[in-house]
Amino acid sequence: MSPISYKDYDGLGLAELVRKKEVQPNELVECAIQEIERHNPNLNAVIHKMYEQAKQSLDMPIPEGRFMGVPMLLKDITQEVKGEPITSGSRSLQQYRAAEDSNYVRKLREVGAIFLGQTNVPEFALMGNTEPAFYGPTKNPWNMGHTPGGSSGGSAAAVASGMVPIAGANDGGGSIRIPAAYCGLFGLKPTRGRTPVGPTVGRNWQGASVDHVLTRSVRDSAAMLDELSVHEKSAAHHAPLFQGSYLDYANIPLEHPMKIAFSFDSPLGTEVHPECREAVLKTVKMLESMGHHVEEKTPAIDGVKLANSYMMMYFGEVAAAIKSSEQVLGRKARFNDVEATTWILGLLGKSMSAEEFVLHLREWDKAAYIMEQFHETYDFYVTPTTAFPPAKIGELDPSPMQKLAINLIGKMRLGSLLKKTGIVDQLATESLMRTPFTQLANLTGQPAMSVPLHQTADGLPCGVQFMAARGSEHLLYQLAGELEESPYWLDFRENPVFQA
């Protein structure tokens, strides 16, 4: 099979060729390796290669699952493969080796996927861009001067460039949807508790983070969610198992006009780029032409308060991640073990009280209740996926003066002092200003998807986000399946790296 024809198929298409014996899994693996070796030196999407392990796995019978023989990449956080490193983008974990497969990886093995490596992430998956100090930045296949987003930026760049049709991803604040928006891909964050998290933990980021995939086609995402959906007994959160097939729904048009709310105002009250606003307006017109009832309406949620509650969780999880890294380091963590900004976030986490943490988590449940009421009226809530198109590589780095202050504060361990300065509000605004729309679904537990419906004047993808009530992934897939046929759906094959 030639690399060109390999890139023409999505995951289900490749698996169908394997089932019909028109191509052998080893041929697909070789094609994928060729594409990784061709593009990765420029994109830096894959940071750990597992070629030999993949070839050895072909010596054993491949499970005759839905993705039999399909090459995949996994994200370098939580998606553990026994015996392989997984660093979460941090030098502090470079000596770690997984003791067993994660349940997510086990499910993928059962459907016949072949793993070729792991993809780049920002340290501890903390940023909406993928520029870890340990591995260096991943670049966007549409324009290599720009970020592919984060934290699943390596996976997005790999899929958009044609290395693999599907890559592992997870989403704790937009980490599937943001890279999908920036790379012209489809990305759906499932309902909380829908996909596996074990066996070593019962929740990730207090349940905000959910594992799934990034794909080029809607049907690959839907079929993969069919396979990944699970009632995991040891998990902290459970979504009722869906009595149907998401793949089937992706092929069924919505039966009646939907009531749809939309907004392009940032929940933080900050700027939204004209291209991102245009993406929503264009989508609204298309939805109206499809017969749906669309009106501008925003849920009655205090976006700033919710952003602060998200950041409080964020600080606590960073502090815990740094503390946990000491088991690998074999000593107390030091300032130079992680990036300076990560260390500052950890100091803020250490300075929080248990009372503060609990009170902020309660805001999640209040927002969830409001959104459930909102979805009694509106089937979907539409916003830009991000408030700005992709930033340039390095654009979001701290200034020299900020770096100096960060290093000084970090080395002096002034976390308590930081809290008194009002920096939490400032960090919430500055950190989320470019991506203020995605966190809501993580905190409420709702499913949400980014669809590639717009391209900027500079040729960069710009996604549109759709949210639905908990457990309503099937409705999102139905709508996505229809939108995929529209003339606005971005063709990932038009990006320069894919064509190379």
Would you name the residues annotated as active-site residues? 75, 151, 175
Q: Under 8 Å CB-to-CB from 373, ≥6 apart: which residues?
A: none
CA proximity to 267, closest of 198, 363, 348, 185 = 363
| Residue 377 CA from chain centroid, whole number | 28
CA proximity to 130, closest of 497, 390, 376 = 390
Contact criterion met (CB below 8 Å) for 465 and 453 = no
The neighbour count for residue 83, using CB atoms within 10 Å, is 11
DSSP tag of 125: G
The end-to-end CA distance of the chain, in Å, is 17
Q: Report residue 117: phi and psi, to 5°.
A: 160, -170
**Cα distance between residue 265 and residue 269, in whole Å:** 7
Tokens 């009595």 label which residue?
243
Residue 350, classed as helix, strand or coil, is: helix
* Cα R_g (the chain), whole angstroms: 21
**Cα distance between residue 308 and residue 334, in whole Å:** 27
- Surface-to-core class of residue 62, CB atoms within 10 Å of its CB (0-12 exposed, 13-18 middle, 19+ buried): middle
